[in-house]
Structure 1
Amino acid sequence: MREVSPWLGWVDTLTGLEAKTRRTFEALDGLLERVIADHRRRRRPGPGGDGRPDVDGAGADDDHRDFVDVLLDVNEMDNDAGLRLGTDSIKAIIMDVFAAGTDTSSTVLGWAMAELMNHPDEMRRLQAEVRGAIAGKDADRRDVTEEHLDRMPYLKAVISETMRLHAPAPLLIPRETTEDTELLGHSVPARTRVDFRSVPFGAGRRGCPGAGFAAPTVELALANLLYHFDWPAPTAHGGGVGTPPVDLSEVYGLSVRLKTPLILVAKPWLG
């Protein structure tokens, strides 16, 4: 409320939202402080730092470097370009990675599985494509890898359609036509949600820098779920002829999720 109407900020205090937000911030901030402090400790010269063995024999060599170490490199480097990340900036970037790079991917995966459960013909077609892509010389492979994704055009189409129907960050990107129109020979009725291919990741200068990583991550996760398991249809919610087995009602927030938790039964596929 405070961000929308500052003069109504007292409502957040009265309802307890202000205190809850502060407690959440303090918990997350404390966690990030500990993560950064642990990395700085390991990077110090001497026992437990700078690649030298510590008391349990573990080192901090390049094999143990991660994303936080890269951010600390920028924080500690001497340069004339004025590029230097402070601790608060490092915390913000880490939160961006977890919030924007993890929550949105799991949300898209959940919506994709829900839509596929409600469209069994498309589920079977997609499973046939995924399993067919690993047939032949790759039949002994235990998992779908990135090199297989180019053989799965229908998988990419399913994920694109999922993001069109259920954009994971709806406050940023949904668009819909205001009137009936025609585009490239196709009739588009008014109020049709239209997302270009890159729109789920934003566009222009505010575009998501992780788009090239997020897309194959979701593709690999969904492909492996469909490759290794068969998914029997759950009992339809609410009953009734023609009722879809999965309730697609939404619950709103910074990301839009299924209102009812998606509970499915996975049967291992033995090939």
Structure 2
Amino acid sequence: MGALLERIIADHRQRRRGSRREGDNHRDFVDVLLDVNEAEEHAGAGGGVPFDNEAIKVMILLMFAAATDTTYTTMVWAMAELINHPHEMRRVQDEIRAAVGVGGDRVTEEHLEKLRYLKHVIKETLRLHAPLPLLLPHETTEDTQLLGYRVPARTRVIVNAWAIARDPATWERADEFVPERFAGDDLTTDYMSAQDFRFVPFGGGRRGCPGVAFAVPSMELALASMLYHFDWELPAGGASKLEMDEMNGLSVRLKATLHLVAKPWSP
């Protein structure tokens, strides 16, 4: 993977040199990262962390592993859980359709604040099926002291978010899909609370996921739209309930391909 990313960066650097001569304005995500790299080189060393090729490769990997793959994986898990829990499916659909109203024809961002149960469904999906069960590793840059322990520089720390979210000492019915648990005032409503670390699908603190404010509304809007416009069921003649076995990859996803029948709904 490292060699592939090095080649991608080298190809972009070469194309950028030709683009400046030919007036080609084609740009993509790698070009944005290279802009930062070149601006830093032009400004000279400032004493901060260098944004070099290694940093660019990390950002590209983060975009694929922690942004794209995780979002659609969470959507699949949410639909699978709702299909296996018809009562919760009806409840969230009723909420969405009531919020959009008789005169509405689609879900918009303005509706999301009214969809409290939908938010509970997504949180419970992330609790049970964190796309990255082991959060992205962090590494200390210098020797430090933490709670009386000496932590040497370059110590790698990996947080098991899956185990935290299924800890029976913290969660009642820890292995069951119960969106209502997030309706309680005693449970965190913040994905990255600095005070409550029972639920950390996006990490937490200064090193938490910087894309959470974009990822969560995107998932809410996409899931709400699917549940508003269609009624969903399993194909006829198949199993009456989905198997929820997991498969590892860039993220932890549903092992079996999710096949559902969508029936258009109209007010």
Which of 108, 122, 131 is the aligned partner of 2:88?
Answer: 122
Relative to 1, partners in 2 of residues 1:264 and 1:192: Cα closer, same or farther, differing over 3 Å? closer
Describe the superposition over 1:137-168 as per-residue Cα deviations: whole angstroms up to 9, x where unpaired.
6x14xx42322211111111000011111111
Residue 101 (structure 1) shift: 0.3
Residue 38 (structure 1) shift: 4.2
CA distance in 1, matches of 2:17, 2:229: 41
The answer as to whether partners of 1:129 and 1:154 remain within 8 angstroms in 2 is yes
Residue 177 (structure 1) shift: 3.9
The answer as to whether partners of 1:228 and 1:269 remain within 8 angstroms in 2 is yes
Counterpart for residue 89 of structure 1:
55
CA distance in 1, matches of 2:119, 2:264: 23
Which of 239, 253, 264 is the aligned partner of 1:268?
Answer: 264
Residue 221 (structure 1) shift: 1.5
Relative to 1, partners in 2 of residues 1:107 and 1:32: Cα closer, same or farther, differing over 3 Å? farther
Q: Name structure 1 gaps, 5 residues minimum.
A: 1-23, 50-59, 182-186
Q: Does 1:47 align with 2:43?
A: no
Q: Does 1:151 align with 2:147?
A: no
Relative to 1, partners in 2 of residues 1:36 and 1:119: Cα closer, same or farther, differing over 3 Å? farther
Alignment TM-score, normalising by the size of structure 2: 0.68
The answer as to whether partners of 1:127 and 1:226 remain within 8 angstroms in 2 is yes
CA distance in 1, matches of 2:102, 2:73: 33
Residue 127 (structure 1) shift: 1.4
Counterpart for residue 128 of structure 2:
165
The answer as to whether partners of 2:65 and 2:251 remain within 8 angstroms in 1 is no
Identity of aligned residues (%): 50
Larger Rg: 1
Residue 157 of structure 1 aligns with an amino acid whose one-letter code is H
Q: Name structure 2 gaps, 5 residues minimum.
A: 136-160, 182-186, 193-199
CA distance in 1, matches of 2:16, 2:264: 40
Residue 47 of structure 1 aligns with an amino acid whose one-letter code is E
Describe the superposition over 1:44-68 as per-residue Cα deviations: whole angstroms up to 9, x where unpaired.
2x4333xxxxxxxxxx2xxx75543
RCO (CA 8 Å, sep 6+): is it higher in 1 or 2?
2
The answer as to whether partners of 1:39 and 1:68 remain within 8 angstroms in 2 is no
Alignment TM-score, normalising by the size of structure 1: 0.68
Describe the superposition over 1:195-239 as per-residue Cα deviations: whole angstroms up to 9, x where unpaired.
9543111123431111111111111121111122221233586x5
Residue 54 of structure 2 aligns with an amino acid whose one-letter code is D
CA distance in 1, matches of 2:222, 2:252: 20
Q: Which secondary structure state, in structure 1, belongs to the residue aligned with residue 43 of structure 2? A: coil
Matches within 5 A, 1:218-257: 218-235=219-236, 244-253=240-249, 255-257=251-253
Residue 107 (structure 1) shift: 1.2
Relative to 1, partners in 2 of residues 1:262 and 1:39: Cα closer, same or farther, differing over 3 Å? farther
CA distance in 2, matches of 1:28, 1:261: 29
Counterpart for residue 78 of structure 2:
112
Counterpart for residue 210 of structure 1:
211
Residue 73 of structure 1 aligns with an amino acid whose one-letter code is D
Relative to 1, partners in 2 of residues 1:120 and 1:65: Cα closer, same or farther, differing over 3 Å? same
CA distance in 1, matches of 2:173, 2:227: 34
CA distance in 2, matches of 1:164, 1:209: 19
Residue 270 (structure 1) shift: 3.6
Residue 111 (structure 1) shift: 0.5
Matches within 5 A, 1:4-153: 25-27=2-4, 29-31=6-8, 33-35=10-12, 37-38=14-15, 41-42=18-19, 44=20, 46-49=21-24, 60=25, 66-77=28-39, 78-79=42-43, 81-82=46-47, 84-135=50-101, 139-140=104-105, 143-153=106-116
Cα root mean square deviation, aligned: 3.2
